[in-house]
């Protein structure tokens, strides 16, 4: 037996924290049926005995700037033992900052624009050997540090996007090896989310009037003495540095000819944030380079622009190696699609998505540092292609991939890839809606749809913990959840809204099922109950009888992005969607209350769920399973949320199938129904119809996107029409204005949940796959499928093949878990840890099991 993974707050190494970390470990063993019997966890002098492998919270003391040693000694039920060790460091904890916030007090930025980046500088000398040195820094804006000509750290867009009025992250960077006898520390601070232009309305100065920097360089000398170089009046500032413009939507402009010696330096001014945010050691994953792409094709557009195709839509920046002349300007434009050989940028709306670089003489490199773009294609002008070597850097939050799905259908494999890349592209510090146009906001409805699929594909815990902290901070006094988190200038008022608000329940619940740690549920529980209280209050407003449980007011997005109708018509379906989600969320919170030891709450929410279900039937149906106002989502939600029974269920399924047939075999669901429509069919006996819908290839359908060349999921099913034109019709006005058409919008990728849990058949039945089920569905002409999931306990997998009427299933069960297998012939088996092979002859419906 061995410990294969030991983590602190989800990290195997490098944790710096101001809070008590959570410890988890995974085991592997060659002994069939092995499980953890007991473990002793040591953190310096503190220790605890436990039979758990996840959610072990360190309960000992914490002191500032201290390294703690962590050791786990585990004993299995077989008697075998295993050990592993790691360390973590504390940050400042509650120590006051020596440094002061500094800025350029004379800097002014016109409305709807982003400020010119500020450059801060501090020079200093060291006269004795250094044992250790580290920098702690944060900013109002996004910053990058340079020490003696070298970048500090690997992060992009620090300190990250948070609800700056409530909390702000600081980063810790080890810089011992970068120091010399004489030193120059430079910080470039762009407007970012705090000061820069943001939202399609181009609001700016949302959190601060101008950029600010707060930093401390801590130096421990070999002789035991210490020194702190902190931001104060001794620092200099300039606004005429090489980065002339940097913002999320328009891009970046850099003049490489500008040196520090040429800049107009002056003493920095002291400032302070508008609010009094809590400043904490970084608790979310940083944005970093995750991959590098080379062009798959280089063409010349009719306009003469050189077009580089990277073969994949993604979020990131270009990286150029070029031979330039002094003063030569090279322009890089970005787009998701080509139309008639030219970059199509109308769908970017006001975003310019352009990087402009002015060269020095000779060989040089350039890559944007304080912005990013969503793109597949880059158009370049101002340089001979022979003088340019262009690659692209993939940027997103540092998320560990935890799931994979493959099958015998290559189209489905491409769909899975598009789903993953849709997530990667939109997990840039917050879950954005899209990475390319003048938006990139934390829309809650998008993640509510995608939450379960996201938690299959990636370990979302640190990412979600950060975002949910902002969500709780910005929850309305009445319980409403912002449509966008952080709100950051978004114009929608904070109110209780179905699905968008339900994210406060759906997101932590999905991650608990994947990871098994009650901590996120416990932290989010007050937010959940407050939200349901708001939904209940609005449902009762101006209502009597069963209508007191119909959630109509104050506003719902309804069947948002349905292929049918306009935005106004989607919104008009809000009460069907709102009522179904209200019932569903009550049921989930009842389960959470049980897990958290709140039985009275659990009973109350189950009773409320029952009342809502009864109201849905009474108000919206004829009592026998037919809706008075029929549309696909209105059937999908009660079917998948368990709101029907008996003959009523059968009739609802028949009616849903009929609506799909009326649409020539296509779905007509928006954000609320799309994640669940295949479940509503397959889990109610309509497996063939579910596969038919999944494998549909004409629009609207998932595989239409794939066949049309989509490498990510689109916002609208018909974003690219069959004739090759882009659908830029505005959904509010009906005019061709650039509209709502993103080719990298992950919500419809929620179908990934069905690929994992129904085709491969692997699904947790308790938190973190402590128990799970493997029950593959056959259909669609598939002859094989496999899903591999890295659970907190180790790798779980389901891999099956179908050949000559013989079904063969291989299942991997991690140590300390158990799995119930349901074969296509209906036979069931339960196994503890190990690797097992099961077969059955489908014609004879006979089966046997072999352990490998």
- Over residues 434-456, the pLDDT tens digits come to 999 999 999 999 999 999 999 99
* Catalytic pick among 144, 236, 247, 439: 439
In tens, the pLDDT along 346-369 reads: 999 999 999 999 999 999 999 999
Where does CATH 2.60.120.260 sit in the chain? 102-282
Give the residue among 114, 251, 121 at the shortest CA–CA distance from 192: 114
**pLDDT computed for residue 308 by the predictor:** 98
Structure tokens at 609: 């769920």
pLDDT band at 729 (very low <50, low <70, confident <90, very high): confident
Cα separation, 756 vs 415, in Å, equals 13
Query: HEC profile for 695-738?
Result: CCCCCCCHHHHHHCCCCCCCCCCCCECCCCCECCECCCCCCECC
CATH number among 1.10.10.10, 1.10.3720.10, 1.50.10.10, 3.30.70.260, domain 440-695: 1.50.10.10
Fold of the 762-851 domain: Maltose phosphorylase, domain 3 (2.60.420)
**pLDDT computed for residue 734 by the predictor:** 72
Q: What is the pTM of this model?
A: 0.97
* Range 568-577 contact pairs with CB under 8 angstroms and sequence separation of 24 or more: 568/732, 570/670, 573/631, 573/633, 573/634, 574/498, 575/550, 575/551, 576/620, 576/627, 576/629, 576/631, 576/633, 576/634, 576/637, 577/498, 577/499, 577/633, 577/634, 577/637, 577/672
DSSP string covering 69-136, please? EEEEEEEETTS-EEEEEEEEEE--TTPPPSS--EE-TT----TT-PPPPEEEEEEEE--S-EEEEEEE
Cα separation, 334 vs 352, in Å, equals 8
Where does CATH 2.60.420.10 sit in the chain? 762-851
Domain covering 2-90 assigned CATH 2.60.40.10 in the classification: yes
Residue 847 has pLDDT above 50, yes or no: no
Give the residue among 697, 634, 635 at the shortest CA–CA distance from 665: 697
Is 58:72 a contact under the CB 8 Å cutoff? no
Residue 487 has pLDDT above 70, yes or no: yes
**pLDDT computed for residue 746 by the predictor:** 96
Is 812:821 a contact under the CB 8 Å cutoff? no
| 269: three-class secondary structure by DSSP | strand
Structure tokens at 192: 């970012």
**pLDDT computed for residue 849 by the predictor:** 41
**pLDDT computed for residue 730 by the predictor:** 75
- CATH number for the region 102-282 comes to 2.60.120.260
Paired with 74 in beta bridges are 39, 82
pLDDT band at 851 (very low <50, low <70, confident <90, very high): very low
pLDDT band at 740 (very low <50, low <70, confident <90, very high): confident
Paired with 42 in beta bridges are 47, 71
Question: Counting Cβ atoms within 10 Å, is residue 87 exposed (0-12), middle (13-18) or buried (19+)?
Answer: middle
In tens, the pLDDT along 106-149 reads: 999 999 999 999 999 999 999 999 999 999 999 999 999 999 99
Torsion angle (degrees, nearest 10) of CA 433, 437, 440, 441: -80
Torsion angle (degrees, nearest 10) of CA 253, 258, 261, 262: -100
Give the residue among 730, 759, 813 at the shortest CA–CA distance from 200: 730
pLDDT band at 845 (very low <50, low <70, confident <90, very high): very low
| 446: three-class secondary structure by DSSP | helix
Asked about 569 being catalytic, the answer comes back as no
Where does CATH 2.60.40.10 sit in the chain? 2-90
Average pLDDT over residues 590-608: 98
Paired with 670 in beta bridges are none
**pLDDT computed for residue 365 by the predictor:** 98
Asked about 715 being catalytic, the answer comes back as yes
Structure tokens at 576: 């069907």
Cα separation, 269 vs 292, in Å, equals 40
In tens, the pLDDT along 396-442 reads: 999 999 999 999 999 999 999 999 999 999 999 999 999 999 999 99
* Catalytic pick among 715, 763, 786, 790: 715
Find tokens 């001014």 and name the residue.
269
């Amino acid at each position: 037996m061995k410990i294969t993974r030991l983590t602190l707050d989800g990290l195997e190494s490098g944790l710096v924290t101001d809070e008590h970390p959570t410890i988890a470990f995974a085991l592997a063993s060659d002994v069939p049926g092995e499980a953890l019997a007991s473990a002793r966890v040591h953190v310096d002098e503190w220790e605890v005995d436990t039979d758990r492998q996840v959610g072990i919270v360190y309960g000992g003391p914490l002191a500032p700037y201290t390294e703690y040693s962590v050791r786990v000694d585990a004993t299995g039920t077989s008697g075998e033992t295993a050990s592993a060790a790691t360390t973590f460091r504390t940050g400042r904890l509650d120590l006051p900052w020596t440094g002061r916030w500094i800025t350029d007090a004379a800097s002014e930025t016109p409305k709807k624009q982003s400020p010119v980046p500020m450059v801060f500088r501090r020079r200093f000398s060291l006269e004795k050997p250094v044992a250790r040195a580290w920098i702690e820094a944060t900013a109002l804006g996004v910053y990058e540090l340079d020490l003696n000509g070298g970048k500090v750290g690997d992060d992009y867009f620090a300190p990250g996007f948070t609800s700056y009025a409530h909390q702000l992250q600081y980063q810790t960077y080890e810089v011992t090896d970068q120091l010399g006898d004489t030193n120059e520390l430079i910080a470039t601070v762009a407007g970012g989310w705090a000061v820069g232009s943001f939202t399609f309305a181009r609001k700016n100065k949302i959190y601060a009037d101008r950029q600010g920097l707060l930093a401390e360089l801590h130096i421990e000398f070999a002789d035991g003495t210490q020194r702190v170089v902190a931001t104060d009046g001794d620092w200099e500032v300039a606004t005429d540095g090489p980065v002339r413009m940097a913002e999320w939507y328009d891009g970046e402009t850099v003049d490489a000819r500008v040196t520090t010696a040429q800049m107009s330096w002056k003493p920095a001014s002291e400032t302070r944030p508008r609010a009094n945010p809590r400043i904490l050691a970084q608790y979310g994953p940083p944005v970093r380079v995750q991959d590098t792409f080379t062009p798959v094709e280089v063409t010349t557009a009719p306009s003469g622009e050189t077009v580089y195709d990277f073969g994949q839509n993604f979020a990131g920046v270009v990286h150029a190696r070029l031979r330039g002349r002094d003063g030569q300007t090279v322009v890089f434009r970005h787009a998701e699609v080509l139309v008639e050989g030219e970059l199509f940028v109308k769908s970017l709306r006001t975003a310019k998505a352009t990087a402009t670089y002015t060269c020095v003489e000779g060989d040089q490199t350039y890559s944007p540092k304080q912005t990013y773009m969503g793109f597949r294609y880059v158009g370049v002008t101002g340089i001979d292609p022979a003088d340019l070597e262009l690659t692209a850097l993939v940027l997103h939050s540092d998320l560990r991939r935890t799931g994979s799905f493959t099958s015998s259908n290559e189209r489905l494999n491409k769909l899975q890839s598009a789903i993953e890349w849709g997530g990667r592209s939109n997990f840039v510090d917050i879950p954005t809606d899209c990475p390319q146009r003048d938006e990139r906001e934390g829309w809650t409805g998008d993640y509510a749809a995608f939450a379960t699929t996201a938690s299959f594909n990636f370990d979302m815990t640190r990412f979600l913990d950060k975002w949910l902290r902002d969500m709780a901070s910005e929850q309305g006094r009445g319980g409403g959840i912002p449509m966008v988190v952080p709100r950051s200038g978004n114009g929608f008022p904070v109110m209780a809204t179905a699905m968008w608000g339900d994210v406060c329940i759906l997101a932590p619940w999905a991650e608990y099922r994947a990871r098994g740690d009650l901590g996120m549920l416990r932290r989010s529980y007050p937010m959940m109950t407050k939200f349901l209280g708001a939904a209940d209050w609005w449902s009762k407003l101006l209502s009597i009888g069963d209508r007191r449980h119909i959630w109509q007011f104050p506003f719902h997005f309804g069947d948002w992005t349905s292929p049918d109708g306009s935005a106004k018509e989607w919104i008009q379906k809000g009460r069907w969607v709102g009522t179904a989600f209200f019932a569903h969320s009550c049921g989930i919170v009842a389960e959470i209350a049980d897990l958290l030891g709140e039985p009275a709450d659990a009973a109350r929410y189950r009773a409320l769920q029952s009342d809502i279900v009864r109201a849905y039937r009474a108000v919206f149906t004829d009592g026998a399973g037919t809706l008075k106002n029929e549309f696909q989502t209105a059937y999908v939600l009660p079917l998948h949320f368990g709101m029907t029974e008996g003959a009523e269920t059968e009739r609802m399924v028949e009616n849903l199938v009929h609506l799909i047939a009326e649409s020539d075999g296509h779905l007509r669901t928006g954000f609320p129904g799309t994640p669940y429509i295949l479940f509503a069919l397959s889990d109610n006996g309509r497996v063939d119809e579910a596969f038919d819908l999944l494998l549909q290839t004409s629009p609207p359908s998932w595989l239409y996107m794939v066949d049309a060349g989509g490498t990510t999921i689109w916002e609208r099913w018909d974003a690219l029409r069959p004739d090759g034109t882009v659908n830029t019709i505005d959904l509010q006005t009906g005019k061709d204005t650039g509209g709502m058409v993103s080719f990298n919008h992950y919500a419809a990728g929620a179908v990934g949940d069905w690929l994992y849990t129904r085709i491969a058949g692997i699904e947790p039945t308790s938190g973190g796959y402590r128990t799970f089920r493997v029950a593959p569905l056959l259909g669609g002409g598939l002859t094989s499928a496999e899903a591999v999931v890295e659970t907190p306990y180790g790798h779980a997998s389901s891999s099956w093949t179908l050949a000559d009427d013989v079904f063969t299933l291989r299942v991997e069960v991690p140590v300390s878990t158990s799995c119930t297998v349901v074969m296509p012939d209906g036979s069931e088996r339960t196994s503890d840890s190990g690797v097992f092979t099961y077969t059955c002859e489908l014609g004879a419906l006979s089966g046997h099991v072999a352990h490998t």
